A and B are shown apart, each in its own frame.
Chain A
Amino acid sequence: MEYAVEMHGIVKIYHETGLHANDGVDLVLTKGEILCLAGENGAGKTTLMKVLYGLEHLDAGSISIMGKEESINSPLVANRLGIGMVHQHFMLVDDFTVAQNVTLGTEPRYGGIIYDLKKAEKEVAALIEEHHFSVKASNKVGSLTIGQKQQVEILKMLYRDIDILILDEPTAVLTEQEIEALFVTLRTLVTYGTSLILITHKLHEIKAISDRIAIMRQGKMVGDFATDSIDEKEISRLMMGQSISLTIDKVEYTQEKMPVLQFEDVSVVRKNQEHPLLNAVSFSALSGEILGFAGVGGNGLGELESVLSGMLPISTGRVVHKGLDITSLSTHALRQRGLAYVPADRLHVGSALEADVAENMIVAARSKFCRNGILQQKRIEQHTANLLKIYAIKGTPRMPIGTLSGGNIQKVILAREIEQYRDYIVFSEPTWGLDVASSRFVYDQMTQLKSSGAAVILISSNLDEVLAASDRVIVFYRGSIVAMLEGDELNKVSKEEMGAYMLGLKRQEAFHG
């Protein structure tokens, strides 16, 4: 059997931190197979793939492509060898069309000079046709959905005649339907002879798509199996090093539940937009419960998050916090009233990556750490060190937060917001991109907050999470509430039925009209 990729004894050490990200890793990829590279956050999956793609330089080991040993020291070399990579964060120019983005850097030209846009569009259109993508070559990338942007990234690689394609967490930002479409695409690619490596830690996806699975833990390869020969429990055991349960214990809050935060007919209307972003949304978040919000991306969950955090002014309606109208308060004023909020975008909103951990930790509580306008650095450092210890965060107060792993960054944000919370707290996509252990940590924190009487608002596009964690679930479709489930109804609801609500196929009696 011939291998598309053979990696032997790969060692990659990050010298700034002394971290052995890859510690003697072997990996082979057979031609025309789909390999899932699984592991927790920080297991070294992405590093290994960056080595293969020439983004990181290896400290020891060898790489052979199509049986020939190669030294890959830049992505250009990787491209020339037929290796392509689709990153988790897209690298696209919003103001360019799909064709312009796809051909960027290898544009077809008249006489070697002038950009032949027509030809580019024709070639890209043919490529789209061939692979049954849903984008148009002439679409502006800025107007595409996330799933379509990912298609453009894949097209970019196909246009360059890639036959080994690496995808870094390709499903992390996609909705269920988009994931299905992606999988169809990937299977088609394989029939054309492309070999694929997917980095992921979603167990059911591994089972659904891959031929083979390679599992990494703490920089080492701990297992390599044909996917049929291993079950999800075993995969997760190897990834985690221990068995884990996939349910969240629900603790009942015994005291009387009081309304903390109320939305009264809240609508957000944008100029020139036919459909309101939020349409007469009313609900009441109660103390001692987790109120979950579910919905497919683009149906109002993002706007709900923005309204809750005071970043999006509402057009009509009222927001009431403990009897006081807070409709028009700025984020600054809401923070002073005790707004605690874990944002969906932890890298661009939830933290300042170049600032250190302590600076990130005090942002909302900064006034508590100064006297006469002078910051009390000692107290800030102590406070931060203390929280780092309580939340078992690997790091020190004066490291830039950007040097921490994604899971640890999220823990810093959690620590900060839980410190800040007074009576309600908003979690938006709190476990997005986190491994199982970190996710569990988040769930434990939410449960604890709830049992101490907090009104916990959970906004999540992860359906399993919303169903498992919430006491009450509200479903959004096109900016409106279409269903509210609680108690038995919630315990019994099937994922199919939820899907019907989320896709607008079904609507509860109370929310008709």
Chain B
Amino acid sequence: MDKSLKKKRPVLPAVFRNSFGILVIIAIALVVIVILALLLSKTPLRTLRYFFLGPLQNMYYFGNMLNTAIPLIFGGLGFSLAMRAGNFNLGGEGQLYSGAFVATVSALALAQWGIFGVIIALLLGAVTGGLIAGLSGVLKMRWNATELITTFLVSYAVVLIVNYLIAGPFLDTETNLIATKKIPENFRFLRILEPSNLSIGLLFAIVAVILVHLYLYKTKSGYELIMVGLNPRFALYGGIRTRWYQVWPMFLSGAFFGLGGGMTIFGTYYACMKDFSVGMGWNGLAVALIARYRPAAIIPAALFFAYIESGARNAMLHSDVTFEIASIVQSVVFFLVTSSVLQKIGVRKRGL
């Protein structure tokens, strides 16, 4: 025991040491991509070039890749917040979609309010997502209904309701799209890497990561949330109101998904189109898994995910790769990255 105290300072900062396993996995994933390209493509070199270099070849693709990361970061934060308190939020899809919708409709209603209108519209979107997720938290607290099921089911229903609202009462009849009206010009985020879609939303995402990090590790409430997640019996014993932490983290989680939805509209689409967000919620979950629910790791995780996605899209455009093959590559990577067995291998290697 004495010897353990004199353990020398680790050479690498904690983030890197803890990420060793994930770095090994990413390396394996990249090798797998190469192998799949060799197997599935008639022009493997061309495919690989577009896959790996496509997202970086010019400002347009690079900026779009970064833009893809924005909702992923918000979703990653959202899922992580629930997870750190020991709750699963599988309703990201619905929370993000409804948050985007409410933010859009609010923006249309608050057109005269300028910058305050932007803030209020985004907050209303966040609160919408938060309430939807928080409902599952209340159901769990009151009747012990598993949030794993309720978040998913509620989200499913919410998606259908939003679909109806977009196609029905809020449809913009002046376009041929199934979408709401476009939000006012002065509500749209500043583009920062023309001609790409990248907007200052990226900065907001980074600020959100910093805020969540500070909340979790520097505040009393964050401490309580983490303790409840690590050991609810201990938390209860220590006098923490554990019932509150079945609801509050779920609310926060949904709010971040909702905020991500609003940000995507204000930064990229300007109108809430039917099904614009399909997959964003799940991808946010994937990002959280890659980051292992640590806020600081969510930015690199989201960038990695966005890179793989943009790479697949690029390879699809410029080579003989089909949508299905691109999806297979993505899912193999996702599978590898979330494999806890592989993560443990990384950890054990570190020990020796």
Contacts of A339 in B (CB 8 A): 239
The answer to whether B230 touches A355, judged by C-beta atoms less than 8 angstroms apart, is yes
The answer to whether A332 touches B239, judged by C-beta atoms less than 8 angstroms apart, is yes
A168 at the interface (CB under 8 A from B): no
Contacts of A42 in B (CB 8 A): 1
Contacts of A19 in B (CB 8 A): 1, 3-4
Given known contacts A348-B233, A351-B234, A353-B231, A363 and B240 CB-to-CB distance under 8 angstroms: yes
Interface of B is mostly: helix
Contacts of A330 in B (CB 8 A): 241
The answer to whether B239 touches A363, judged by C-beta atoms less than 8 angstroms apart, is yes
Given known contacts A15-B351, A331-B237, A350-B234, A363 and B227 CB-to-CB distance under 8 angstroms: yes
Q: Which of A18, A341, A377 contacts B3 (CB 8 A)?
A: A18
The answer to whether B237 touches A375, judged by C-beta atoms less than 8 angstroms apart, is no
B57 at the interface (CB under 8 A from A): no
B116 at the interface (CB under 8 A from A): no
CB-nearest residue of chain A to B234: A352
The answer to whether A18 touches B237, judged by C-beta atoms less than 8 angstroms apart, is no
Task: Encode contact with A along B221-253: 1 for CB under 8 Å, 0 otherwise.
Answer: 101101100110111111111000000000000
Q: Tally B residues with Cβ within 8 Å of A.
A: 28
Contacts of B239 in A (CB 8 A): 331-332, 334-336, 339, 363-364
The answer to whether A370 touches B220, judged by C-beta atoms less than 8 angstroms apart, is yes
Task: Encode contact with B along A343-384: 1 for CB under 8 Å, 0 otherwise.
Answer: 100001111111100010001101100100111010000000
Distance in angstroms from A117 CB to nearest chain B CB is 30
The answer to whether B4 touches A349, judged by C-beta atoms less than 8 angstroms apart, is no
CB-nearest residue of chain B to A16: B351
CB-nearest residue of chain B to A334: B239
B352 at the interface (CB under 8 A from A): yes
Task: Encode contact with A along B190-230: 1 for CB under 8 Å, 0 otherwise.
Answer: 00000000000000000000000000001111011011001
Distance in angstroms from A47 CB to nearest chain B CB is 13
CA gap between A309 and B7 in the complex, in Å: 38
Q: Which of B5, B226, B233, B241 contacts A332 (CB 8 A)?
A: B241
Contacts of A311 in B (CB 8 A): 236-237
Task: Encode contact with B along A381-411: 1 for CB under 8 Å, 0 otherwise.
Answer: 0000000000000111001000101000000
CA gap between A311 and B242 in the complex, in Å: 12
A273 at the interface (CB under 8 A from B): no
Q: How many residue pairs, one in A and one in B, have C-beta atoms under 8 Å apart?
A: 96
Task: Encode contact with A along B2-45: 1 for CB under 8 Å, 0 otherwise.
Answer: 11111100000000000000000000000000000000000000
Contacts of A242 in B (CB 8 A): none
Most buried by B among A20, A352, A353: A352
Q: Which of A334, A351, A374, A396 contacts B218 (CB 8 A)?
A: A374
CA gap between A433 and B343 in the complex, in Å: 33
A17 at the interface (CB under 8 A from B): yes
Contacts of A20 in B (CB 8 A): 3
CB-nearest residue of chain B to A377: B218
Distance in angstroms from A369 CB to nearest chain B CB is 8
Given known contacts A18-B3, A364-B238, A373 and B221 CB-to-CB distance under 8 angstroms: yes
Contacts of B226 in A (CB 8 A): 355, 359
Task: Encode contact with B along A1-21: 1 for CB under 8 Å, 0 otherwise.
Answer: 000000000000001111110
Task: Encode contact with B along A190-206: 1 for CB under 8 Å, 0 otherwise.
Answer: 00000000000000000
The answer to whether B1 touches A17, judged by C-beta atoms less than 8 angstroms apart, is yes
Q: Which A residues between 286 and 328 are near B, CB-CB below 8 angstroms? A: 309, 311
Q: Which of B1, B6, B221, B230 contacts A405 (CB 8 A)?
A: B1
Q: Which of A309, A353, A366 contacts B223 (CB 8 A)?
A: A366
Contacts of B352 in A (CB 8 A): 15
CB-nearest residue of chain A to B244: A332
Contacts of A336 in B (CB 8 A): 239
CA gap between A375 and B231 in the complex, in Å: 20
Contacts of B236 in A (CB 8 A): 311, 331
CA gap between A351 and B237 in the complex, in Å: 9
The answer to whether B238 touches A363, judged by C-beta atoms less than 8 angstroms apart, is yes
CB-nearest residue of chain A to B237: A349
CB-nearest residue of chain A to B5: A396
Distance in angstroms from A88 CB to nearest chain B CB is 19
CB-nearest residue of chain B to A399: B4
Contacts of B233 in A (CB 8 A): 348-349
Contacts of A364 in B (CB 8 A): 238-239
The answer to whether B230 touches A350, judged by C-beta atoms less than 8 angstroms apart, is no
9 CB contacts below 8 A, A to B, read A332-B240, A339-B239, A348-B231, A352-B231, A352-B235, A363-B234, A374-B219, A377-B218, A394-B4
7 further A-B pairs in the complex, CB-CB below 8 A; given A352-B231, A377-B218: A17-B7, A18-B4, A18-B7, A309-B237, A335-B238, A370-B219, A374-B220
Q: Can you list the 4 inter-chain pairs with the closest CB atoms, starting with the nearest?
A: A335-B239, A363-B238, A17-B4, A352-B231
